[in-house]
A and B are shown apart, each in its own frame.
Chain A
Amino acid sequence: MSIKEDTCDPVNFQDFYYRQADALRNYVYYKSGDSGFADDTVQESFVRLWKNCASVPLSKAKSFLFTTATNLFRDMLKHKKVQLKFVERKSTESKVADPEFLLEEKEFKEKLDRVINSLPEPQRVAFLLNRIDKLKYREIAELLGVSQKTIEKRIHSALLVLRKEIGNI
């Protein structure tokens, strides 16, 4: 194995952590809605990866991490009600200081948050990995071990629920 592929190399491992930790942490967060659990799962998944570094080359490490995290989530005894919190990135349109517009925007964001939290877990995870983490459908499918078509169906359904619930409120 070349050094670039060697997961046991501490420099590679640190670099890999800093590249992958955000996506993994978000994935567990979307699934569990529990940020403490997400932190601990990231920690445990990477420690397990390190312990198995001799048999997992870097090219396989990402899928090892997501599989490990998924198993840890399944093993968690109690699932709490999902209460995801999101912040908005700096928006270019917020220069418009019309108070009515701003209030409307704020309400829309609150509705959006609420409906996202109420989505069934598979739909929510696929939708957020695409919207927030900007992963392509193919990438999400690979991480979750399902077909791209399945991901497209989940995102389609998520949008249908969002339209219905936001339209109704």
Chain B
Amino acid sequence: MKDIFKNDDTYLARWLNGALSEKELEEFKNSEDYQLFNRIADKSSNLSTEDWQKDQIWTQIKKEGGIAQPSTTSKPKVIRLGWTKYAAAVVIIAVIGYLALFRGDRLQTVQTYAAETKVIDLPDGSKAFLNAESLIQYNPESFLADRNMTMEGEVFFEVEEGSKFTVNTENGDVRVLGTSFNVRSRTKKLDVACYSGRVGVSFDNFENERALSKGDRVVAESGRIIANLSIEGELNRPEWRDGSTKFINASMDEVINELERQFDIQFETDSSIREIKNYNGGFDHNDLNAALEVVFTPIQYNYKVEGKRVILSKKS
């Protein structure tokens, strides 16, 4: 058997993460063991480990470290031995507990990776649409009572009528009654657009609150509002839900990060391009080459796609 990658000791790893060039991939697909490799890759990515006692271990950590209770939860009765006992080769694990009594602390996390979006049905019937590389986290047991969640990245919400619905981000908090709105929280920026109803945005836990009505959009950086915009006359949902991204007065750094997110690629470039400011434009998420063309040609940059890498260079 003669492998085409005989002299290359990272070839299969680069195949596995999609970093081979099109020509290499074509050649590999025609090789004898391609089917078997492909099956191994598929099957292994579908494996997962068995559930473990994450909440019980957390309780034990709090106890051993003397960590103050951040929220009100009941204390489960679980006893675990420290790892040091293993060094003494003692393997006795005693779990005395009423797990059924255990409540709280159980956070539900939903996450998207690059080039992926997800729709989440929340326990109250509201919906959260996650753009690529985003995350929401909430406690399913208390959610109906407090409708409180944490998010990162970019999420569009359709909120059912009801009590206050609060979204916490690194860059500020948003709360609403029944409405639909988009929250984008990336690096230091918070960008909130209200598509129906009313929402409130705050940077100090709602001591001060900026109210947005239907059609309003604000962009804030490091806790200060830097732009008041209108989305009047636009669709009833953000562009990304229809597979495109639009930028107004953005830095090229943000544009490059969004391209990496939407296409699961990595740019290789000097840092000067990232400092270009005031970019206005956008791209569709369905065609990498078209997106690169529309973004980089106007600013006089060449691009070259090699698998998952894109190399940028200034036109001379």
User: Which residues of A line the B interface, CB within 8 A?
Assistant: 4, 10-11, 13-15, 17-19, 21-22, 25-26, 29, 35-44, 46-47, 50-51, 72, 75-78, 84-89, 91, 108-109, 112, 116, 127-128, 130-132, 134, 136-137, 149, 151-157, 159-160, 162-163, 166-167
Contacts and interface: CB of A to CB of B under 8 A. Distances in A.
Interface string B49-83: 11011100110110011011110000000001111
B21 interface: no
A149 B8 CA distance: 12
- Measured as residues with beta carbon below 8 angstroms from the partner, the interface class of chain B is 35 or more
Contact of B69 (A10, A75, A153): A10
A136 to B, nearest CB: 7
A44 B67 contact: no
Contacts of B82: 40, 43-44
Interface of B: 9-14, 16-17, 33, 36-37, 39-41, 43-50, 52-54, 57-58, 60-61, 64-65, 67-70, 80-87, 89, 91, 93, 105, 107, 109, 113, 137, 150, 170
B44 A112 contact: yes
Contacts of B58: 14, 17-18, 21
A87 B41 CA distance: 16
B89 A77 contact: yes
Main secondary structure of the interface of B (DSSP, over half): mixed
B61 to A, nearest CB: 5
A21 B50 contact: no
Which of A130, A134, A154, A156 counts the most chain B CB atoms within 10 A? A156
Nearest to B14: A152
A88 B46 contact: yes
Contact of A159 (B37, B48, B86, B150): B37
Interface centre among B36, B82, B86 (most CB of A within 10 A): B86
